[in-house]
Amino acid sequence: MDLIELPKSQLQLGMTLKFTIRDENGEALLVKGQRIMTFKQLDIIRSRKKIYVEIEESHAGITALNTGISTLNRLGAPIKDFSKHLRVDIPGLESEQLKAVVAEEKLTGSLPDRWGTMESKLGGLLASVNTTENFESRIRALDQHIQNLLLEDASGAQLILFNRAVSDFSNYSVMHSLLCAALVHMLAPVFKLSEEERSSLVCAALTMNIAMTRLQNALAAQDYVPSVMQRKEIANHSAEGMQILANAMVTDTMWLDVVAQHHAHLSGPEALANWSPVDRNTKILQVVDRYTAAMSPRKSRVSRTARDSALSAVVKAGAANHDEVGSAMVQLLGIYPPGTYVQLANGETAVVLSRGIKPVEPFVASVFNRDKQPIVLPRRSSTASKETAVKSSLIASDVKINVKIGHLLRLIPG
């Protein structure tokens, strides 16, 4: 039996195995056809030093690697096979049409550069919705780019997007929507969303605030509470957003319905799986929206720490049970999401790199020493030990430093 090492990052929640996973002696750990159903199951396999597959069964994974997908770390999409994620199959569009749009909107540069380009493209589309031809196809092309970028480096994407979102309120509205879109995509397999539901939800996240993009940016920058006129615009933006999208020839009813009710009060059975598809998708977006918005800086208020935001998403006031979506986010990101800041027990200030084995023990890179002096080249450490344990979560605006994202990306554990 000829074996080849399999990068553990290729094992993801929701994945149905196209190969049998073996140890160094060839003994089967997980068999072909088995589905990875829980985070615990995933963590047990990933905790092994090395895992292997038979060369004959590894063609899809090798092909993916050879086409530039070097890591699938914590991918959110359900993986039934690797080739599925190399195709361009989006509901409601002809494949050739979408391929043409994606090719036209090709991304280049480093990973941070490409996410920056995504921010610019989304901002341009939201600002020109009334004059853009094929608006729906162009938003779906952004969804395709999001999938490709997350396939390439999901942990890196989390670091880039969260750090940008919590550290800077410029272009807040677009950045917030982009972060929400990436998160709902990563949560899709947890709630067993179909590809059609996932795509509709991502597109809804990208466009949910299309009726108040300028206002949302203004609210982030102003140092006073919203005026009466602003509050009226806020109250009406969901319904107006749906109408703007319908006028732009968006025909996906789930996309439109989720935008229309993304601030509505929802209730349903205890298990989210028993909700209607539209309400379930809306609930997922609502929790992600509130969670990320709470951490973002405003001149008119102090943002919450990542830990407080996470706890508020999981434990709702007056609720008997933990919020299902909030709990899933904590499982995905940990208590301290990548890109946010923490104080360590040894007195150092660090930026979170990625989730650790336990939600409360992330991998971090120290940016200030215990004397509050900047560290020129941040170094990675685990917070699993007593000395480097997380003491508290910090508000990003209180950490006066411009981190070098490129260097931090290289520190993320493989």
CATH number of the domain to which 237 belongs: 1.10.3210.10
Domain end among 23, 50, 67: 67
Residue in 49, 71, 62 with CA at minimum distance from that of residue 4: 62
Is the domain of 158 the same as that of 297?
yes
Is the domain of 293 the same as that of 402?
no
Q: What is the pLDDT of residue 33?
A: 75
Is the domain of 53 the same as that of 130?
no
**Alpha carbon distance 142, 78 (integer Å):** 19
Q: Report if residue 89 sits inside a domain.
A: no
Each of the 414 residues of the chain gets a pLDDT tens digit; together they read: 567 777 775 676 666 777 888 888 888 888 887 777 676 777 778 778 888 887 656 543 443 333 223 323 333 334 333 333 333 333 444 455 556 666 566 788 999 999 999 999 999 999 999 998 889 999 999 999 999 999 899 999 999 999 998 887 778 889 999 999 999 999 999 999 999 999 999 999 999 999 988 877 777 777 777 788 888 888 888 999 999 999 999 999 999 999 999 989 888 888 999 999 999 999 999 999 988 888 776 554 555 666 676 666 666 655 556 789 988 988 899 999 999 999 999 999 999 999 998 989 999 999 999 999 999 899 899 999 999 999 998 887 788 888 899 999 999 987
Pair 94, 141: CB distance under 8 Å: no
Q: Report if residue 16 sits inside a domain.
A: yes
**Alpha carbon distance 161, 154 (integer Å):** 11
Range of the domain at 362: 341-411
**Alpha carbon distance 223, 186 (integer Å):** 34
Residue in 124, 138, 136 with CA at minimum distance from that of residue 259: 136
Pair 366, 375: CB distance under 8 Å: yes
* Pairing mode of beta strands 21-22, 3-5: unpaired
Is the domain of 60 the same as that of 148?
no
**Alpha carbon distance 222, 224 (integer Å):** 6
* Residue 240 tokens, joined: 């107006």
Is the domain of 212 the same as that of 294?
yes
**Alpha carbon distance 350, 369 (integer Å):** 9
**Alpha carbon distance 133, 162 (integer Å):** 31
Pair 191, 282: CB distance under 8 Å: no
Q: What is the pLDDT of residue 97?
A: 55
Q: Report if residue 327 sits inside a domain.
A: no
Q: Report if residue 357 sits inside a domain.
A: yes
Q: What is the pLDDT of residue 208?
A: 94
Domain end among 253, 287, 302: 302
Is the domain of 102 the same as that of 237?
yes
Q: Report if residue 81 sits inside a domain.
A: no
Is the domain of 27 the same as that of 138?
no
* Residue 247 tokens, joined: 């006028």
Provide the angle, in degrees to the nearest 10, between the axes of the packed helices 213-221 and 228-247: 150
365 DSSP assignment: E
Count CA within 13 A, CB hemisphere, residue 323.
Answer: 23
* Residue 42 tokens, joined: 């995933």
Domain end among 241, 271, 302: 302
Is the domain of 143 the same as that of 251?
yes
Helix (H) or strand (E) holding 185: helix 172-187
Q: What is the pLDDT of residue 78?
A: 40
Q: To 5 degrees, how large is the angle CA 227–CA 210–CA 296? A: 65
* Residue 155 tokens, joined: 């942990």
Is the domain of 20 the same as that of 139?
no
* Pairing mode of beta strands 374-382, 363-368: antiparallel
Q: What is the pLDDT of residue 86?
A: 34
Question: Per the structure, how many domains does the chain have?
Answer: 3
pTM over 0.85: no
Is the domain of 106 the same as that of 63?
no
Is the domain of 120 the same as that of 42?
no
Pair 226, 234: CB distance under 8 Å: yes
Q: Report if residue 308 sits inside a domain.
A: no
Pair 358, 401: CB distance under 8 Å: no
Burial 314-327 (b: 16+ CB within 10 A, else e): beeeeeeeebbbbb
Is the domain of 55 the same as that of 202?
no
Q: Residue 381 — left, alpha, or beta (φ > 0 → left; ψ -120 to 50 → alpha)?
A: beta
* Pairing mode of beta strands 390-394, 341-344: antiparallel
Q: Report if residue 320 sits inside a domain.
A: no
Q: Report if residue 294 sits inside a domain.
A: yes
